[in-house]
Structure 1
Amino acid sequence: MKYYIKLLRPKDWAKNFFIFVPSFFARHIFIAEKIEHLLAGFVAFCCIASSIYIINDYRDIDDDRKHPLKSKRPLASGKVKPSYAIIICIVLIILGSALAVLANPNCHFLFILVVYFFLNLAYSFGLKNIAILDMLILATGFVLRVKGGAIITHVDSSDWLIIMTFLLALFMAIGKRRDDLLLKASSGTEMRKSVSGYNLEFLNTMLGLFGAIIIVAYISYTVSPRTIVRLGTYRLYYSSLFVIAGIMRYMQVVFVTQRSGSPTDILYKDRFIQITIFLWILSVFILLYLPNSPIFN
């Protein structure tokens, strides 16, 4: 049973928490009805994402067997039969679609899921082999999660929120591609065709560039007059400290410890990153939900 669970890649479901971001910033996170719909949407995204993972693993069985880590995946290792995996994939697609309608009866959220599914299907069937485009598609998937969350709860997903989500996802994707490149250099085996379109100098430059852009974008968002009026506080820039710390830590992981292969692994294992994210969430929560706290008086 554990191999069938592993087939779904539940640890990667953490990416789907981006669906809650619009409601969090709109101060709707404690409205019971909206949370119920968001949870249904979250599970729907998990189902569709897992179906894509299965399709991707099915297509990459031979390549994954050459990878030191991916060779342990259920399909590549032979622990799960391909025919069973396809049946599970179909069930997940049906369940995800049903939950999407439950979360948003007018089917706008379902449309987002359909776009996400076919975009990632195209990625699995060849677009992932095109350098730069592969990372842009991954980053777009995070934007769709945010848009989906905004649609479910009928809140405005600001331009800044979309931009920062895209930049952050692209930043992490660059770090992952850098790890793929280092793996190719150490093993002599090309694990991903798009890696041939990158080199260390290019990826190192992109990491530094996007790290700086994310920090500037976030600070600009927090001090924007529109943001101050919309959120009712000019102090949101306080939370920039944790954004800067998080970016610095991720770059330290990439350049110093050389273990940027999976952003989700970093999230689950790196205590510094976990504490930074927690403090960022806490600071934004206090600033948006507790504006009359004695801290600010």
Structure 2
Amino acid sequence: MWQTNNILYHLIRAMRPRQWTKNASLFAAAIFSGALFDGVDIYRLAIAAVLFSLLSSATYLINDVKDAERDALHPIKKNRPIPSGRLSKGFALSVALALVVFVLLMSVVFVNIPFFAICIIYLLLQISYSIYLRNIIIVDALTVAVGFIVRVFAGGFAADVSISSWIILSTIGLSLLLAFGKRRSERTILGSQDIAFKTRATLKSYPDSLLDSMISMSASYTMIAYSIFCFQTGVRSDIFLNRYLPTTLSSPKWLMITIPLVIYGVARYLYVIYEKRDAESPERVLMSDIPLLVSVLMWGILAFAIIY
């Protein structure tokens, strides 16, 4: 019994449930469309988010099996269940295959065909990344960005709503910031040691100056794209003050109130990268850096209140 529980514990760790936070982006299209409670099947969207989380876990298992020997050299990744040998490769692959089959079947039964198709695209993208794309400088970060875009479209297909082009552009900027910030932190943690290049081949091709430039560009791009999104006329605003304010102030641009929070969040993440030097795991940073977490929660609450 103890051994069974131990295997289950390591399996759950290998599935990386902490990274399921990335799949919150599935709700972006429905929330910002202003139709979350008006024409959107919330239960179907919730099922889609669960299925996508399981699919992402399957890709993590596949990736860890492929990179087990390489990850065993990494000071942090070596403690993962598969590189450390606590979870066998064969068992992990079997679970990954079972998850893929389950997700694809359930996506057809409980969601819809477009969502099924986007799941296939995401699976192929992640496998391509693990095998080849991760070894190409800049393309590796762009692939991460595409992964986030796929998540947004997955949510849009599940909710059957249109997606603002500026939401897509904002997602690209933020995901590039996370990707390049992760590379910068990996270089900081591993330095110029041979182990750094063995654990991630592209690190030797990323000079600090290039990463700094890409991080700066991505941060600026994110703030500009999100700001433009907040001012576009298609964004619905149901804030109650619109009923009582003069026409000059009643234009549906109230999302602009959230811009300072986005600026602060981006700036705080830059602080984590360069001063705390702890952005190697973005999802862990989000949950452990209190100022960043508070700014994200405040942004989410305020944006939701303004739209609904």
> What range is the shorter-chain TM-score in?
over 0.9
Which residue of structure 2 aligns with residue 26 of structure 1? Answer: 33
Q: Distance in 2 between matches of 1:15 and 1:79?
A: 26
1:57 aligned onto 2:64: yes
- Shift of the alpha carbon at 1:222? 1.2
Stretches of 4+ aligned residues off by more than 3 angstroms: 30-33, 225-232
C-alpha distance in 2, partners of 1:159/1:33? 20
- Checking the alignment, whether the CA contact within 8 Å between 2:237 and 2:254 is kept in structure 1 is no
| 1:262 corresponds to | 281
**Are positions 1:206 and 2:214 aligned together?**
yes
Give CA-to-partner distance per residue, 1:30-89, whole Å, 9 cap, x none: 359611111111111111111111111011011000001100111111101111111101
Q: Whole-Å Cα distance in 1 between the matches of residues 120 and 267 of structure 2? A: 35
1:99 to partner: Cα distance: 2.5
Partner of 1:15: 22
Do 1:43 and 1:99's aligned partners in 2 also have CA atoms closer than 8 Å? no
Give the count of matched residue pairs: 288
Deviations 1:245-284 (A, max 9, x none): 1001000000111001011011111111111011101111
C-alpha contact (below 8 Å) 1:51/1:93 kept by paired residues: yes
Taking structure 2 as the reference length, the TM-score comes to 0.89
Match runs of 1:102-251 below 5 Å: 102-105=109-112, 107-185=113-191, 187-189=193-195, 190=197, 191-227=199-235, 233-251=252-270
User: Structure 1 residues 178-187 or 267-276, which shifts more?
Assistant: 178-187
Identity of aligned residues (%): 28
1:104 CA drift (Å): 2.5
Whole-angstrom CA distance in 2 between matches of 1:138 and 1:230: 34
- Cα distance in structure 1, aligned partners of 2:236 and 2:39: 26
* Code of the aligned partner of 1:288: I
Give the conservation status (yes or no) of the 8 Å contact 1:40–1:99.
no
Q: Report the alpha carbon displacement of residue 210 of structure 1 after superposing the two structures with TM.
A: 1.4
Secondary structure of 2:191's counterpart equals helix
Match in the other structure for 1:74: 81
How much has 1:126 moved relative to structure 2?
Answer: 1.5
Give the aligned residue type for 2:178.
Answer: M
Q: Tell me if the contact between 1:175 and 1:261 (Cα under 8 Å) persists in the aligned partners.
A: yes
Q: Is residue 233–residue 287 contact of structure 1 (8 Å, CA) maintained in 2?
A: no
SS in 2 for 1:255: helix
Residues 47, 111 of structure 2: 8 Å contact kept? no
> Distance between the aligned counterparts of 1:42 and 1:19, measured in 2?
6
Q: Which structure 1 segments of 5+ residues have no match? A: 290-297
Which amino acid in 1 is paired with 2:85?
Answer: G
| Unmatched segments (≥5 aa) in structure 2 | 1-7, 240-250
Structure 2 letter corresponding to 1:57? D
Segment of structure 1 superposing worse, 90-99 or 70-79 = 90-99
Q: 1:32 to 1:14 in 2, by over 3 A?
A: farther
Q: What TM-score comes out, normalization by structure 1 length?
A: 0.92
Q: Could you tell me which amino acid in structure 1 is paired with residue 123 of structure 2? A: F
